[in-house]
Amino acid sequence: MKRLLIVLVAVVLGIVVLAAGALLLVDANRFRPQIQASLSEALGRPVTLGKLHVSVLSGSLDADDITIGDDPAFGKQPFVSAKSLAVGVRLWPLIVHRELHVTTLTLDRPYVHLRENRAGRWNFASIGVGDAKAATPAATQTGGDAVPALRVDSLRIRDGSIELTRAAGGSRTYSHVQLSADRIATDAAFPFSMRADIAGGGSLQLDGDLGPWRAGNAALTPLKAHLVMKHLDLVGAGLMSAHDGVGGVLDLDTQIASSKGVLHSKGRIDAHKLQLVASGSPAPQPVRVDYQADYNLSASTGAITDTTLGSGKATLALSGRFDSRGKVMQLDLTMRGSKLPIDDLQPLLPAFGVVLPKNSRLSGGTLNVNLHARGPLDALVISGPVSADNTRLAGFSLGQKLGGALSLAGIQAPSDTVIQHAEASLTIAPSGIRADPAKAVIQGLGDIAGKGRMAASGALDFDMLVKLNADLTKNAASGKLLSQSKAGRVLGGLLGGSSQNGIGVHVGGTASDPSFRLDPSAVAGLLRSGLGAKSATDANSTQSTSSQKTQSTKDVLGNLLRGALDKNKSGTGK
């Protein structure tokens, strides 16, 4: 038995040695025209291989390099170039019959150029189209026999790179691409898996099924897959410019399916440090987007439906269209929300450019929005009405900011600004935020109406008409403090009438540190705009009556109020 085992081992070793010797005697380059022709016919592109040699250990034919030509409409540069190609073959037919049976293809460090022309067509769309012999280099034409179609058990790409260039300009590169596909055929779907690194530190994982292949337009080939992208930096990946003031880091998990030229996707995006307008700042907490979209591959346009954006229980409903034909995606969306809890919505406010005074925050209440976002993503303009009810601006007292004069009248302003109702028509643009008009009812103070803007830098330029509560001013005007002097009686008279005429105030400084000063000229302007209870005629009448007052009364009143507000500006009452 021992001798028999030794004999069997010797026979096996002998066969292995003979097979290895036979492989070494095989001139691998005689198969190069056949391999080139098979690949060229399958791709509809000219394929050129470098010198071939036999790899005994792996049972493959290895090419020193490989190039795949591009669609002639896109130029003469290679569509794919790779350092090496390993062609897995069946050894026995190769040794005995000199017949080539390809089982696997492995590309090492390929570089793929994906390009879009001005008509919106991609250079990969024509893969599989064309005359095999026209696509095959003349050196590979052998006889008049038809070249058999290529079928491959498995395809592997190792450490590849993909450069994607849009017709509108700009390019993106995906590196360290790893791809595997099995049972590849043109007449059936086959499974694949791809992973790549995205510029800026992100990663991409795509797993699914592709096919049957659409030779007329590869972009229409059916696809069903699961896409996961992590840490996609909008600026780092080149999707946005660092100067646009728009950015964020996205984690995306979505299911995609392509059929008849329409790509349908449904999934979730977690946006970190999201900033939507140049005048804003990164959101301090993640923002979640649950979305559903359809994208027309040939038109490069799509629609968004059943989509929500928000944080916690505060979510905005989004719908509309987008257009990716330009260098930057164009949006035309509506954003709606009713009775949104402000506490949950607050982390989203900085992303839209909303800045609150320093050391203050909104607490409680609800918000209603009906906004329209239109324009390129890097210069988005968001406009529409918003309103808030029963909320508190904690840490900021509007009464104290106005209240040097109020304090003299014995009016004690609350430490917080309690907003019973506020509404504004907003326009949020890269240049800043404009509110025209804006109104509010402040508990313990009165009504405010105004208009103005906040620049992208945060600088404020607002005119306000403040109408104090009638009961508040009546009590103040009749108080003992104001009746003890002429200036006091003048101030009391002003406060007593402010519930009807209003006090004009200009707001300057910055959103984080606003400053207030008396501006009587603001009253007439705001009344003419229809923001006050009186008409423009009433306002002119009021101004005429005021002009008949003595100069001494004006001086006493102006100095008293301006002095009080100036003290606030310099530090008192902040």
User: Mean pLDDT over residues 88-104, rounded?
Assistant: 64
User: Mean pLDDT over residues 234-242, rounded?
Assistant: 82
How confident is residue 99, by pLDDT bands cut at 50, 70 and 90? low
3-state secondary structure of 374: strand
Angle between helices 521-528 and 536-547 (to 10 degrees): 160
Does residue 488 have a pLDDT over 50? no
User: Mean pLDDT over residues 450-468, rounded?
Assistant: 89
User: Mean pLDDT over residues 5-22, rounded?
Assistant: 45
Helices (H) and strands (E) in the chain, counts: 12, 28
User: Mean pLDDT over residues 464-489, rounded?
Assistant: 57
User: Mean pLDDT over residues 410-432, rounded?
Assistant: 85
User: Mean pLDDT over residues 321-348, rounded?
Assistant: 90
Higher pLDDT, 561 or 63: 63
How confident is residue 200, by pLDDT bands cut at 50, 70 and 90? confident
User: Mean pLDDT over residues 3-18, rounded?
Assistant: 45
Give the rounded percent of residues in the chain with a pLDDT score beyond 90: 34
> Which of 238-242, 278-282, 390-394 ranks highest by mean pLDDT?
390-394
pTM of structure:
0.74
- Is 308 within 8 Å of 267 (Cβ atoms)? no
- The structural domains of the chain, with segments of one domain joined by +, span 1-129+151-184, 402-419+431-530
CA 3 to chain centre: 75
How confident is residue 474, by pLDDT bands cut at 50, 70 and 90? low
Min mean pLDDT across 376-380, 466-470, 472-476 is at: 472-476
- Is 413 within 8 Å of 397 (Cβ atoms)? yes
How confident is residue 197, by pLDDT bands cut at 50, 70 and 90? very high
Give the tens place of pLDDT for each residue, 258-316: 988 899 999 999 999 988 877 778 888 899 999 999 999 888 899 999 999 988 888 99
DSSP code, position 406: H
Higher pLDDT, 11 or 163: 163
> Which of 70-74, 245-249, 333-337, 453-457 ranks highest by mean pLDDT?
333-337
Does residue 145 have a pLDDT over 50? no
pLDDT given for residue 321 in this prediction: 97
Min mean pLDDT across 136-150, 349-363, 467-481 is at: 136-150
Give the tens place of pLDDT for each residue, 522-546: 655 555 666 654 433 343 444 444 4
CA nearest to 267, candidates 281, 251, 282: 251
Backbone angles phi, psi at 64, to 5 degrees: -65, -35
Give the tens place of pLDDT for each residue, 31-52: 788 778 878 887 888 999 888 8
- The chain-wide mean pLDDT, for the chain, equals 77
CA nearest to 319, candidates 297, 304, 300: 304
pLDDT given for residue 408 in this prediction: 45
Backbone angles phi, psi at 218, to 5 degrees: -60, -25
